Chains A and B, each alone.
Chain A
Amino acid sequence: MAEKKIKKVRIDGREVICERDETILDAAKKAGIEIPTLCNDDRLEPYGGCRLCIVQVKGVGRPLPACSTPVTNNMEVCTDNETITRIRKNLISLILSNHPNDCMRCEKTGDCDLQALAYKYEVDGSRFEGEQWDLPIREDNPFITYEPNKCILCGRCVRICNEVVMAGTIDLVGRGFDSMPDTAFRRPRSLDNCEFCGQCVSTCPTGALTDRRGRGKGRSYDMTKVRTTCSYCGTGCNFDLNVKNGKVIKVTSAYDAPVNHGNLCIKGRYGYEFIHSADRIKTPLIRRGDTFYEATWDEALDLIADKFTGLIKKYGNKSVGAFSSSRCTNEENFLIAKFARTVFKNNNVDNCARV
């Protein structure tokens, strides 16, 4: 067991008690002090690429990145001063100098970290003019739209793909001004090289990676977010259904979800089209002959109860059993087992999950 050493840190004059391995950013969050970041995502290892979180540590000449600098005992941190504000402003200006700045028609408007910081620090893209990327939008797959021009190279997509999903679909390619995230050999995304979990979209702070099917159907502030639990498997991932005018437009990550912390797979993130599908089965169906007839739940449950009772009477209670689905939650599985043992009075319980 690693010993727990308590460290006292002063951030902007406020004392924060930290445990081992915390960074300045963690400590600041605890103290309720906001430090701007673009490349930080709590699901990922610290990166230190955007440099916006630089803070002044007493006794250190150069400002240090809060996201990747571990706290030390009696550290004194100043998160904002004239120099740091100037550098942050210049950094945001530099990012904006290679950014389309077309917020008026951008998918991400209102939910864009870069936009928020430009607003907060009152900068636009006019200070440093120069070459700008002019690359085509990539819509080479059904799920993910990639607008390289909006990429700020925070590396979050690359890292989530490699650190969390471990799919290794994308990495940074090129060097210098031309480096950008892309697939190997810049091939289109397909099931050969991508899982389409959309984790990269979930972490992208700008409009560079967006859900293709939700594009043009509304901005984040147009949507009502409805927290739900994924129905595809028993893991119990939470996410937010983004609803506009009674229709589910897309799924976004719920970062505070206790089970999945915002992570999702292809089913959870992109498997929502059934919701509004005309073919969706909304009532129980009872088979009569070769056809199914829509029924009420009462009718269906009565039928099931009758059949089970009949079978038990005729063949004994060992002749029936309960088999539940891998899409059921723990609680549902517990209930079905309980049901078998108390109603069927046997131990014939199983589940299709064989993972």
Chain B
Amino acid sequence: MGFISNLIEADRMAEKKKAKPKIKTAGRANAAPMKKPEAETAAKSKTITKAKTKAVTKGPEAKGLTIRVCVGTGGLAAGSQQVIDTFHLELSARGMKSAIEKKCVNKTGCRGFCAKDVLVDVIVDGDISTYQFVTPEKVVRIVDEHIISGQPVDEWLVGPDYHTFHDKQTKVLLKQCGQIDPEDINAYLNIGGYEGAKKALALTEFEVIEEVKKSGLRGRGGAGFLTGLKWEFCSMSKPTPKYIICNADEGDPGAFMDRSVIEGNPHSVLEGMIIGGYAIGANYGYIYIRAEYPLAIERLKIAIAEATEKGFLGKNVFKSGFDFDVRIKEGAGAFICGEETALIASIEGKRGMPRSKPPFPVNKGLWGKPTVINNVETLANLPMIITKGSKWFSSIGSEQSKGTKVFALTGKIKNTGLIEVPMGMSLKEIIYDIGGGMEKKNRELKAVQTGGPSGGCIPASHIEMPVDYESLMRIGSMMGSGGMVVMDNTTCMVDMAKFFISFTQNESCGKCVPCRIGTKRMLEILTRITEGKGRESDIELLIELGTDIKMSSLCGLGQSAPNPILSTINFFRDEYEAHIKEGRCPAGVCKALRQYIVDAEVCKMCGKCARVCPSTAITWQPKQKAFIDKSKCVKCGACFEACPFNSIL
């Protein structure tokens, strides 16, 4: 317990002498565990062994105490601020004030596994122990038993699923999220932050573009255009001034990778913008971010202020003679503003509506000047491409899709959260290794929807396919911004398609006819199918309408809006037919088509269904099988959900 007495001793010293400036101390305190990434991985693997053996061994590089608390939006929602406050309170109550002053309690960004929040790393002498579901009440015991007595509270430590979730991933972008304090530039500098920008500014613009081109980096916003090529087009465009815009208007339902990157490591995005701005000759950068991300905006503001203070932004960046300013523009939450021309219109103060391309923004963008728009994830990749080189980057990934991609893994799967995998990893590995397989044991994987409302679904039969731009396009889906929804056999594909088209219809800007009225009519057709009023000709009508909307819409929103419908018709036509011809929803989702009955052979006579039924349609007596009176049933599905034995059909 040497380090504890040291801390207490240090406290006494500090009272005598005034403590040194905070930032410097924090820098040093952070430096210990952060300095060498290799050491970190070593520490990580140690944690796994520890989790299994539940034994604690002190590492050789005993450096002291660090507590890392996840303060991403997920973490904060789970109460991480209170956890931090309690740590402060408990530590100072035990005479460890210096621990707080040294910022031993660190805030970190999201580490992706939000289902287990609040996640807390307690690092004692280099040994990392990770706690899950931490609440302020649990803090006392962690402090007493683990920090004071050196005995981790085993029962609250993360289980093996936490490690399988993380170990199969290749963390490049998200590596530092969840490790560093996003509100402290020194934390970023200590892990080699802004080295990429420095290095880039020492090269010529041409060399930077060439390096990015060689890396094969493609836009992470969805379409997958080669970033280096986009830059090259813009740099060839003559008018000035030029602009670089960071597109942080993340809007796909369930997607939160951009938010997580900004919340967890905002400086990586700023650094990417400096590199991009320099390469294309832009002295102004905008970050277009939705106002629904208040925490990300806050952290960006802090980051911009810090970077400006350090001379990384503003006049004469890194004393290179290059001027670069970044401004934040908050969007009002219109999905369409993620489309680049609509985004530009929105920054200009106009209604966020896309316009026809050409001319492309690289020639005529913001205020009519050449503009490059890159996604958050794209930009965050750049510092590493410059520091580690294009070869390193292109060594990750598949033939034409390089690097890693962050996905928001959700749906009927065990481990939901944010994952980062190399391009080209198979769906199977993502779902079963990282995702831990289906959420419920007796359910089967049915399909995976990628790319959010613009994407399509991939049936379980294609589970071996690699996840990269080309493969997804080939199957009628797309990368999109990285949403990945896993569905099991209780998901109705017609209903799923209806959900997405209803989203795109609501978010259509109304400018072009096919998107505005076409998606509305598709939604109406799907609605009548799910209500049992579908017509024989509806499937063909959907295909024709969908094809025409894809071909004739103005922007990417309309051009991709029919994808969820067309791909589900392609792979699950039988389900559509069951709805229309047999008046049956095979997944049992569409309420209007539902007939709830009790499978008497499976029923275990527990009576749970009868207790939840709101319309007393279920008759049941102890030791008697339940029975549903169809005339009373309101088809709410409560019994279906409640039955632990799947005996309600």
Contacts and interface: CB of A to CB of B under 8 A. Distances in A.
Interface of A: 46-52, 54, 62-63, 65, 68-70, 83, 86-87, 90-91, 94-95, 97-98, 128, 130-131, 152-153, 155, 171-172, 174-180
Contacts of B559: 62
B520 to A, nearest CB: 4
Interface stretch (B104-112, B352-360, B410-418, B472-480): B352-360
Given A51-B512, A172-B353, A87 B551 contact: yes
Given A69-B358, A179-B516, A172 B510 contact: yes
B42 interface: no
A176 B516 contact: yes
B17 to A, nearest CB: 62
A48 B355 contact: yes
Interface residues of B, number: 33
Contacts, number: 107
A94 B512 contact: no
Interface of B: 334, 336, 351, 353, 355-356, 358-359, 505-514, 516-521, 524, 544-545, 548, 551-554, 559
Nearest to B520: A177
B516 A153 contact: yes
Given A90-B548, A130-B521, A131-B524, A51 B508 contact: no
Majority secondary structure of chain A interface residues (helix, strand, loop or mixed): loop
Given A91-B513, A177-B516, A130 B524 contact: yes
A274 to B, nearest CB: 39
B355 A175 contact: no
B550 to A, nearest CB: 8
Contacts of B524: 130-131
B512 A48 contact: yes
Contact of B521 (A52, A128, A155, A175): A128
A50 B552 CA distance: 9
B517 A63 contact: no
A65 B510 contact: no
Contact of A69 (B353, B356, B514): B356
26 contacts: A47-B355, A48-B355, A48-B356, A49-B512, A50-B512, A50-B513, A51-B512, A51-B553, A52-B513, A65-B554, A70-B359, A86-B544, A90-B548, A91-B514, A94-B513, A95-B517, A97-B517, A98-B520, A153-B511, A153-B513, A174-B510, A176-B508, A176-B516, A177-B505, A177-B508, A177-B516
Contacts of A176: 505-508, 510, 516, 519-520
B510 A153 contact: yes
A49 B511 contact: yes
B554 A51 contact: yes
B560 to A, nearest CB: 12
B517 A175 contact: no
Contacts of B544: 86, 90
A329 to B, nearest CB: 37
B552 A97 contact: no
Contacts of A50: 512-513
A153 B524 CA distance: 20
Contacts of B507: 175-176
Contacts of A172: 351, 353, 509-511
Contacts of B511: 47, 49, 153, 155, 172
Given A63-B551, A171-B351, A179-B509, A130 B520 contact: yes
